[in-house]
Amino acid sequence: MANIVAKKISIFGITINPLTMNEAVDYVSTWIKFAESNCKFIVTPNVNCVVQLSKNQAYRDAFENASMVVADGKPVVWTARLMGESIPGTVTGSDLVPAIFQHFHDRADAELKVFLLGAMPGVAEIAASNIERTYQHVKVTGLYSPPFGFEKDAVECERICELIKDSGADFLLIGLGAPKQATWVNQYASRLPVKVAICAGATIDFLAGNKPRAPKWMTNIGIEWFYRMMTEPRRLAKRYAGDALVFPGLVWKEWTSRH
């Protein structure tokens, strides 16, 4: 499997697809409706992903094998533009997933069957209820909150693949955090009969209302990360501080390699 979207740019040693939200939804809906059963997966890099990519080869391998890579973070878009690359804007996983659901809601010609993998126990059940209440023609056919460290247990991973297979889902929403969600789906994509999988971080929590999204104005000016850090300081403050130290060096390295 490899990136199969026509539009491509290269930055930070990875390929990114400079798509609008509507273009991304069109690709995904076409894959779901017409593609063969091989799993195409989507990753959405933000600053933290770029930092982790610089030191994690398995994570880089997952990005190389992804069928679509869209920019999740404003700093990634701004850096690309600084380097002379054209990216129309961010396509965040937490916005792309509802946009896909809305696409099927608006059209009565097909039903979207979804499997939710991730979040804490009980959260996916709430998300499933909210999804089915909000979007017609979208049905959650399975969900699972895997135990901590499951990715190191081959038997558990095979069991998860069987759960997804038995659900009959077309679309797999993975909310396991980075880099785990991407490295896991890259390893097991050949065992997953879904049409499309998306690595979408905290999206299941957002759909459940378990975690709040930042106000739109904060997202628009690129400081959604600050809102998230304020809502989860114990979990995110150290991560964002580390990213803030490393990312400028990666931008400088990119700049000097091009000039």
pLDDT of 1 reads 59
Q: Cα separations (Å) of 194 from 74, 113, 186, 190? A: 30, 9, 13, 10
pLDDT of 32 reads 94
- Give me the tens of pLDDT residue by residue for the chain, a chain 259 residues long: 578 888 999 999 999 999 999 999 999 999 999 877 689 999 999 999 999 999 999 999 999 999 999 999 899 999 999 999 999 999 999 999 999 999 999 987 789 999 999 999 999 999 999 999 999 999 999 999 999 999 999 999 999 999 999 999 999 999 999 999 999 999 999 999 999 999 999 999 999 998 888 888 888 888 887 888 888 888 888 888 998 899 999 999 999 998 8
pLDDT of 35 reads 72
3-state secondary structure 171-196: EEEEECCCCHHHHHHHHHHHHCCCCE
pLDDT of 37 reads 67
Distance CA 53, CA 104 (A): 33
Which domains, and CATH codes, for the chain?
15-208 (3.40.50)
Exposure class string for 189-203: b at 16+ Cβ within 10 A, else e:
beebbbbbbbbbbbb
